[in-house]
Amino acid sequence: MKNREQYIESLKNLKTQVYYFGKRIDNIIEHPSFKPHINSAALTYELANMPEYEELLTATSHLTGKKINRFTHIHQSTEDLVKKVKALRLLGQKTGACFQRCVGWDALNATYTVTYEMDQKYGTDYHKRFLEYLKFVQENDLMIAGSMTDPKGDRSLRPSQQADPDLYVHIVEKNDKGIVVRGAKAHQTGIINSHEMIVMPTIAMGEEDKDYAVVFAIPVDTEGVIHIFGRQTNDSRRFEEGEIDKGNYKYGIVGGEALTIFNDVFVPWERVFMCGEFDYAGLLVERFASYHRQNYGGCKTGVSDVIIGSAVAIAEYNGVAKASHVRDKIVEMVHLAETLYCGSIACSAEGFPTPSGAYFVNPLLANTVKQNVTRYIYEICRLCHDIAGGIIATLPSEADLKNEEIGPYIEKYLKGVADVSTEDRIRILRLIENMTGGTALVESMHGAGSPQAQRIMILRQANLNQKKKLAEDLAGIKKEH
């Protein structure tokens, strides 16, 4: 297993092509825009090496019997699935942000289960190839980006119907050594500080989309791969002096996402895990999406723990902690967060083995959790804004606070209760501003799929006929069932 320093050191060996603000960035590790995201991912390595956290953050490889970082583990039981959720909550609490490694973890598990089933049907050897890849990942404790979302162009059209065929990643050439792919993946969490990426289709495919039904793994610095790092709310504050205005200055917000371009990228056969088996694209999406939706009642509950904590703190700093409506709002925030957690624990406890032996979550419950996340996090943040007051939208800068001439005015007039410093009050307010608005909120809506994607899955899994029959039976409606 790598530790924090080894992880950061290992990124230096990569020649990842990253662009940001119109410039090529050669040293991502020291760049202020990327540092918080690297810190956050590094915590998955650091905590795994600490005895306090090893039960959640490490596992025993079912392939080699060795101790591995849990983020590279294939779930072998419902207990593993439950531990996944707990590990994510823990890391959400410690970072208050996204620590990025769950996407690749879900890609590993989804690909593991689906390659097994594909081989059973087609006699292919994708699973065998994948096992070799998995051993390599576990052995080297690699961070994997999970690359599913294509840019998608006109959403009403299939991949093969798009005006520009590259709007979904597709195979442009096959030869005896491998395949060549072209296209792009959008919103790639943590990709610029990952080692590898697993590329998967983003929707179910028909025969006409055969060339788009492709799964493969490559290093993020493969020739022809370009990453264009996305902007975030208030990102230019990272270029400023000081730490207060950055809010969560150590770990940032969400995962640091990029648009990743594949300019005719070569992938050797041993790294190809689906190549034209269009009838398995839908299953892969369903597996990945359900594993990924499971996570959100873990990590977002952890992040909510921090938001709730900041609401408790600011209520105290403002002198309203004992007000009954404030206490009630905090109870509501806790209730919402724990409801999310319940869903993630439930979909894990109700998990079951796939034919490969790897465990899968209950997809109905996993989709239900994520659907709730698209609402409850907004409500948690709304309540936090309510408690914090309008000052989160109008606070002067850290530079003004530190200014000799006007700083004393800020000290004097932005003080809350007498025994808390103005700076501490401002720090909490900036943390709230950072964690509860803009980019941070959107992740809860669209990360792991937009609400409608969950509703489609919920409808598919809901067994409405059985529910109708229950009602008809109770109503005394006699039918030949």
Partner 1 sequence: MKIVGIKYCGECNPEIDIGDFMKRLKLRLNSLGFTLTTDIDKSYGLIIVNGCRVGCLKREKFANFENIVVINGASIDSVIVDESKLAEKIAEKLFGGNC
Contact call for residues 200 and 289 (beta carbons, < 8 A): no
Question: According to the binding rule CB under 8 A, does residue 354 interact with partner 1?
Answer: yes
State which residue, 37 or 127, has the beta carbon closest to ligand FAD: 37
Q: Is 354 a catalytic residue?
A: no
Q: Which does 354 bind (CB under 5 to 8 A by kind): ligand FAD, partner 1, none?
A: partner 1
Q: Which long-range contacts (C-beta less than 8 Å, at least 24 apart) are formed by 216-219? A: 216/179, 216/181, 216/267, 216/271, 216/272, 216/273, 216/274, 217/133, 217/144, 217/271, 217/273, 218/265, 218/267, 218/271, 219/14, 219/195
The two beta strands, 272-275 and 214-219, are antiparallel
State which residue, 248 or 318, has the beta carbon closest to ligand FAD: 248
Contact call for residues 232 and 253 (beta carbons, < 8 A): yes
Q: Which is catalytic among the residues 126, 212, 296, 359?
A: 296
Q: Is 98 a catalytic residue?
A: yes
Q: Is 299 a catalytic residue?
A: yes
The two beta strands, 225-229 and 18-20, are parallel
Contact call for residues 70 and 83 (beta carbons, < 8 A): yes
Contact call for residues 37 and 196 (beta carbons, < 8 A): no
| Interacting residues with ligand FAD between 265 and 324 (CB under 6 A) | none
State which residue, 207 or 473, has the beta carbon closest to partner 1: 473
Q: Is 292 a catalytic residue?
A: yes
Q: Which helix (H) or strand (E) holds 178?
A: strand 178-189
Question: According to the binding rule CB under 6 A, does residue 260 interact with ligand FAD?
Answer: no
Which of 165, 353, 407, 451 is close enough to bind partner 1 by CB under 8 A? 353
CA atoms within 13 A on the CB side of 85: 26
CB of 190 to ligand FAD, least distance (A): 7
Which of 254, 274, 401, 457 is close enough to bind ligand FAD by CB under 6 A? 254
Which of 109, 111, 188, 290 is close enough to bind ligand FAD by CB under 6 A? 188
Compute the distance between CA of residue 67 and CA of residue 69 in angstroms, rounded to an integer: 7
Question: According to the binding rule CB under 6 A, does residue 381 interact with ligand FAD?
Answer: no
State which residue, 169 or 361, has the beta carbon closest to ligand FAD: 169
Interface pattern 113-152 for ligand FAD (x via CB under 6 A): ---------------------------------xxxx--x
Dihedral of the alpha carbons of 162, 165, 169, 174, in degrees to the nearest 10: 140
Contact call for residues 113 and 354 (beta carbons, < 8 A): yes
Q: Is 296 a catalytic residue?
A: yes
Q: Which does 481 bind (CB under 5 to 8 A by kind): partner 1, ligand FAD, none?
A: partner 1
Q: Which does 147 bind (CB under 5 to 8 A by kind): partner 1, ligand FAD, none?
A: ligand FAD
Distances (CA, A) of 60 to 63, 73, 159, 292: 9, 8, 40, 22
Contact call for residues 223 and 180 (beta carbons, < 8 A): no
Contact call for residues 215 and 198 (beta carbons, < 8 A): yes
Question: According to the binding rule CB under 6 A, does residue 247 interact with ligand FAD?
Answer: no
Binding-residue total with partner 1 (CB under 8 A): 13
CB of 347 to partner 1, least distance (A): 10
Question: According to the binding rule CB under 8 A, does residue 298 interact with partner 1?
Answer: no
CB of 216 to ligand FAD, least distance (A): 14
Q: Which is catalytic among the residues 73, 260, 292, 341?
A: 292
Compute the distance between CA of residue 374 and CA of residue 380 in angstroms, rounded to an integer: 11
Sign of the CA dihedral with 103 first, then 104, 109, and 111 last? positive
The two beta strands, 257-268 and 225-229, are antiparallel
| Interacting residues with ligand FAD between 432 and 461 (CB under 6 A) | 442-443, 446-450, 452
**Which is nearest to 48 in space by CA: 6, 9, 12?**
6
Q: Which is catalytic among the residues 46, 117, 196, 257?
A: 257
Unique residue bearing structure tokens 């491998």: 178
| Interacting residues with partner 1 between 356 and 375 (CB under 8 A) | 362
Q: Which does 416 bind (CB under 5 to 8 A by kind): partner 1, ligand FAD, none?
A: none
What distance, in Å, lies between the first and last C-alpha atoms of the chain?
Answer: 57
Question: According to the binding rule CB under 8 A, does residue 479 interact with partner 1?
Answer: no
- Residues lying near partner 1 in the complex (CB under 8 A) are found at 350-355, 362, 461, 463, 465-466, 469, 481
The residue ranges that bind ligand FAD (CB under 6 A) are 103, 146-149, 152, 155-156, 185, 187-189, 254, 257, 442-443, 446-450, 452
Catalytic residue IDs = 98, 102, 189, 257, 292, 296, 299, 443
